[in-house]
Amino acid sequence: MAAADAPITNPLLRSKAYYGGSWQTTDGATFEVRNPASGNVIATVTEADPEMTRAAVSSAANAFTKWKKRTARERSNLLYRWFELITDHREALAQLLTLEQGKPLLEAKGEVTYGASFVRWFAEEAPRIYGDLAPASSQNKRTVVLKEPVGVVAAITPWNFPVAMITRKVAPALAAGCTVVVKPSEETPLCALALAELADRAGFPPGVFNVLPTTMVKEVGEVLTTHPSVRKVSFTGSTEVGRLLMRQCAGTLKKLSLELGGNAPFIVFDDADLDAAVAGAVASKYRNAGQTCICANRFYVQRAVYDEFYDKLRREVGKLKVGDGFDAAVKIGPLINKEAVTKVTEMLNEARTEGAVVWTPLSCDLPAGNYLAPTVVTEVSAAMRLVREEIFGPVSPLLPFDREEDAIELANATEAGLAAYFYGKDHARIWRVAEALDYGMVGVNTGAISTAAAPFGGVKQSGFGREGGKYGIEEYLTTKYVCWQVE
Ligand code: SIN
C-alpha cells in the first residue's frame, strides 16, 4: 500500500476536534499532518484555538459532576469496552500510527497492544480504589479517609508514542473518576482522534474524554495550565517544556505529573552474557529509531569485554534495515522531522571534530527523507554532547570503564534520572548497582522494561509522578479526611 493512500481508506481517520461528545471545527482553521517517511500531507485537521480549549474544559467540568458519581464498576465496564475496541482495531490504528509517526508497522502494532494494556489494567484498577478507617483519636470519633477523583485533567502528550502515551494517562484518570482533555502532539493528532472515535463507540458520556488537535501549542497550553477548572496536568515531553508548564500551573496550584527527558546509561560488566547484552542494547537503543525517553543513550562497557561487545554490537546493528515503516523488512523508520535529523547529525559531527570515530554499516542504503543510518561511536569522551544530552536518534556512543564504582559514578553524572540498564551475573553486585543508580527505573539484564504493571517515571530533572501499575491511579486521586463525631 502506498503510504499516501492510507488515510483515504483508514476507517479510523478523523479530522475534527472531539469534545462534548461530538466532532467540532473552528471557522475553517486547519493544519496539515505529514508522513515523516515521504513528507506527503496525509490529513488536514481542525486547529483547536484557546476559545475551543475553554469550551472543551467546560464540557469536561460539566461531565465530571456526573462521571465521578458513577460506580467504579460502571467506569470499569466502559474502559473494558474501550480496550476491546482498541484491540479489535489494532491493524487500523497501527496503520495510522506508522503513517503519521514513521515507526515500522510491527512496532506500531506492538505499541497499540502496549497502549491497550493500560486501558485493561486500569479497568481492573477502577474497582480497587480503597479508602481507610484510621485509628480514632477518641472513643466518640471516627477517622475516615476517602479517595476522590482530582477533577478535570489536561493530558499533554508526545509524538513518539501517539497511542500508548495517551492511554497511559487517560485510562487511570477515567478509572479514578476524572474527566480528561487531551492535547496530542501536532505531529501525531490522528491516533489521538482515532482513540476518541473508539471511546465514543465505547459509550463514554459526552465530555468525559476530549481531544484537541492544534499547532497553537503555546496558547492552548496556556489555557490548560491556567484554567481554574483544570485540577491536574500530566505531561510527557522535554524537561524545558515541563519546567515552563510547572511555572504556568503554579498560579492555580494544579497537581502535576511530569515525565521528562532521560539520558539512560547502559552498563555492561565483564561477567555479562554478551549476546544477551547486545540483544538488549539493540532493543533499547534502536526501537523507534532511538526516539524513546528510556532509550539507552550511552554505553559503559568494562574494558575486558569492550572489543568483543563492540564487534558483536556492530554485527547486529549492521542487520537493521532503514526505510519506510510500511516495508516489512524495515527495522528503523524515519525520524519525526527534518529538525530531528539535523540535531542528531550536528551532534555526530561535533563528536567527530572532538575525536570520536563513527561507524556506520557499509550496506546502509538511505532513502531520501528524514532518515539516519544507525551508528556506533567509539573514542568518545564524557564531555561530548552525545554523552551529556539525550540523543533521540539511532546512535550508540561506547565508553570503556575499569571498576564498578567508576561505572556508577559515570552513569549518575547527569541531571536526568529516568531509566538505566545494566548487564552482569554476580547477584551481590546486581543489588549494589541497582540500588546505587540514581534513576526511577532500572533494567537488569534486559533492555525492555515497559509494562502496564510497572510504575513508569523518573527522578531529578526527569520529573516526578508515576504512570502504570497500582501507583498510576494515585496520581488522579485526592485524599479526603472525614472526622466523624459519632455521639
Ligand atoms: C517514553 O518514551 O516516554 C515511553 C517509552 C515507553 O513507555 O516504553
- 178-235 confidence digits (pLDDT tens): 999 999 999 999 999 999 999 999 999 999 999 999 999 999 999 999 999 999 999 9
What secondary structure, in 3-state letters, does 70-136 show?
CCHHHHHHHHHHHHHHHHHCHHHHHHHHHHHHCCCHHHHHHHHHHHHHHHHHHHHHHHHCCCEEECC
Residue 363 has what pLDDT?
72
Place of cell 553524572: 413
* Cα dist from 385 to 187, 263, 328, 397, whole Å: 26, 11, 34, 10
- Cβ(436)–Cβ(409) under 8 Å? no
Closest by alpha carbon to 298, among 383, 372, 370?
383
Distance from the alpha carbon of residue 253 to the mean position of ligand 1, in angstroms: 27
**Separation CA 43–CA 130 (nearest Å):** 44
Which one of 235, 450, 451, 466 would you pick to mutate in the ligand 1 pocket, going by the greatest count of ligand atoms within 8 A of its CB?
A: 450
Q: Is 143 left (phi over 0), alpha (psi -120 to 50) or beta?
A: beta
Percent share of the chain, pLDDT over 70 = 98
Q: Compute the CA torsion angle 121, 122, 126, 127 (nearest 10 deg).
A: 0
Q: Which residues are paired to 256 by β-bridges?
A: 233
Residue 90 has what pLDDT?
98
Does residue 292 line the site of ligand 1, with CB under 6 A? yes
What DSSP designation does 467 have?
Answer: B
- 381: CB partners within 8 A, 6+ apart: 354, 355, 356, 387, 399
What cell numbers appear for 129 in the block?
A: 480504589
Atom of ligand 1 nearest to the CA of 165: 4
Distance from the alpha carbon of residue 293 to the mean position of ligand 1, in angstroms: 6
pLDDT tens for each residue of 63-100: 999 999 999 999 999 999 999 999 999 999 999 999 99
- Cβ(130)–Cβ(474) under 8 Å? no
Q: With bands split at pLDDT 50, 70 and 90, how would you rate the model's confidence at 8?
A: low
Is the model's pLDDT at 457 over the cut of 80? yes
Question: Phi and psi dihedrals of 47, rounded to 5?
Answer: -95, 105
CA 9, 14, 16: angle at the middle one, nearest 5? 150
Residue whose CA is at the smallest distance from ligand 1 atom 6? 450
**Separation CA 468–CA 327 (nearest Å):** 32
Q: With bands split at pLDDT 50, 70 and 90, how would you rate the model's confidence at 6?
A: very low
3-class secondary-structure state, position 217: helix
pLDDT tens for each residue of 350-370: 999 999 999 999 776 788 889
CA 441, 447, 448, 453 torsion-angle sign: negative
Residue 283 has what pLDDT?
97
Regarding pTM above 0.85, the answer is yes
Q: With bands split at pLDDT 50, 70 and 90, how would you rate the model's confidence at 27?
A: confident
Is the model's pLDDT at 3 over the cut of 60? no
Q: Tell me the pLDDT of the chain averaged across its residues.
A: 96
Closest by alpha carbon to 203, among 230, 163, 174, 233?
174
Is the model's pLDDT at 296 over the cut of 70? yes
Is the model's pLDDT at 9 over the cut of 90? no
Closest by alpha carbon to 376, among 386, 365, 384?
386
Is 74 among the residues known to form the active site?
Answer: no
3-class secondary-structure state, position 250: helix
276-314 in b/e form (b: 16+ CB < 10 A) is: ebbbbbbebbbbbbbbbbbbbbbbbbbeebbeebbebbb
Atom of ligand 1 nearest to the CA of 114: 7
- Cβ(147)–Cβ(129) under 8 Å? yes
How confident is the model over 436-450, as a mean pLDDT?
Answer: 98
How confident is the model over 382-389, as a mean pLDDT?
Answer: 98
- 152: CB partners within 8 A, 6+ apart: 57, 60, 61, 64, 178, 179, 180, 181, 229, 230, 231, 232
What cell numbers appear for 15 in the block?
A: 479530522
Q: Which residues are paired to 481 by β-bridges?
A: 145
Residue whose CA is at the smallest distance from ligand 1 atom 8? 450
What DSSP designation does 461 have?
Answer: G
Residue whose CA is at the smallest distance from ligand 1 atom 7? 450
Is 390 among the residues known to form the active site?
Answer: no
**Separation CA 94–CA 12 (nearest Å):** 11
Question: Phi and psi dihedrals of 300, rounded to 5?
Answer: -110, 120
